[in-house]
Amino acid sequence: MLETAIVLACLLLLVSALLWAGGGKTLHTTQGSGIIETIPGVAEMAPPPVDELVLLSYAMAYGLGETLQTSPRPDPAAVYDRLDAIIETIAASDADIVLLQEVDFASRRTYDVDQLQYIAAALGWGFVARAITWECRYLPWPFWPPWRHAGRLRAGQGIISRYPLVQNTRQRLAQAPTQPVLSPLFAPYHTVQMVDAQCGPHSIRLLNVHLEAHAVATRQRQTEELLTFVRQVATPNCVLMGAWGSPAATAAPDAAFESLTTGLRDRLRPMPASGATLVGPGLQPLDTPFVPHEALAAGPRPVVVRLRWALPLSTAPERTPPEHC
């Protein structure tokens, strides 16, 4: 009897510890109530009028890179070097708005750096919107040895902009159905982040997507949900970019992106040069020659697109008809 009680007590403690570690969610808001943040001292500076717009999309791998993610916890210098290489790439691209995936928001594994704020401040850009997709008090991974545990974790997707952001919402996508009972407490979920930016007289809708990278069936289900969502929210000035779940060794999106392109052909059209971007009819794609920072050449490369408004920036004032005597 005593042994049974001890076993039950140990199990209760273990479950309680797991529930505590998987808790700590700080953002319990509805899907349509995201937050827009401003960088102090920068947001007050009005950006110049825009005739053309350059967008960059990049899966940051949490500032760790493909090699650092699988190695023992990197030292702070390696993490900051990686972040600085990303900043140099963004600056060299002449981008106006950046859509980022796999970003750490002050996580222990990357030394409590809020990477979204760090990059925005370094670029001198005034507006930030984040979508938290992965958060727990303590992530016990990798399982052994314990001192390599990731610990406190908060991560997700984000958009950084020179121009004011006027809304930030997110739509959660399907998860893999084979997860154990408590796995969802520690696992990231996938989402599409929707942000509107006000670029002078024009508004542009940005859809920042992150799909499952390993389970093909789950990625296909996410693609179907994404297709339904985009058909509801797409505008003429709309851009869909992000991490499409294709293997890290290749830059090309897989069949999920192809099926999405087919399903949205009456709303958005693919940009031939980028291969992973869909734009609305109110935007005219332009050529964008671009070479990323050498430190980013090993993994997936940033996607950069340059756009021009298909409609004139200003419409001619209506003429007053002459008065008849």
pLDDT digits (tens, 9 = 90+) for 217-247: 888 899 999 999 999 999 999 999 999 875 4
Q: Distance between CA 120 and CA 123 in Å, rounded? A: 5
Question: Amino acid letter at 10?
Answer: C
Q: Distance between CA 241 and CA 192 in Å, rounded? A: 10
For the chain, what's the residue count?
Answer: 325
Q: What is the pLDDT of residue 45?
A: 62
Q: What is the pLDDT of residue 251?
A: 42
Beta-bridge mates of residue 285: 307
Q: What is the pLDDT of residue 200?
A: 86
The DSSP-derived string for 121-144 is: HHHT--EEEEEEEEEEEEE--S-S
- Measure the CA angle with vertex 144, ends 140 and 147; round to 5°: 70
Burial annotation 120-134 (CB, 10 A radius, 16+ → b, else e): bbebebbbbbbbbbb
Say if residue 148 is exposed, middle or buried (CB neighbours under 10 Å; 0-12, 13-18, 19+): middle
Burial annotation 83-101 (CB, 10 A radius, 16+ → b, else e): bebbbbbbeebebbbbbbb
Contact 130, 39 (CB under 8 A): no
Contact 166, 203 (CB under 8 A): yes
Q: What are phi and psi of 324, to 5 degrees?
A: -100, 130
Residues in the chain where the model's pLDDT stays below 50: 28-33, 247-252, 313-325
Q: Which domains can be identified in the chain, with CATH numbers? A: 33-309 (3.60.10.10)
Q: What is the pLDDT of residue 169?
A: 92
Structure tokens at 267: 């709303």
Structure tokens at 134: 């992965």
Q: Distance between CA 160 and CA 36 in Å, rounded? A: 10
Q: Distance between CA 59 and CA 99 in Å, rounded? A: 9
Structure tokens at 324: 């008849």
Q: Is the dihedral of CA 137, 140, 142, 144 positive or negative?
A: positive
Q: Distance between CA 48 and CA 231 in Å, rounded? A: 32
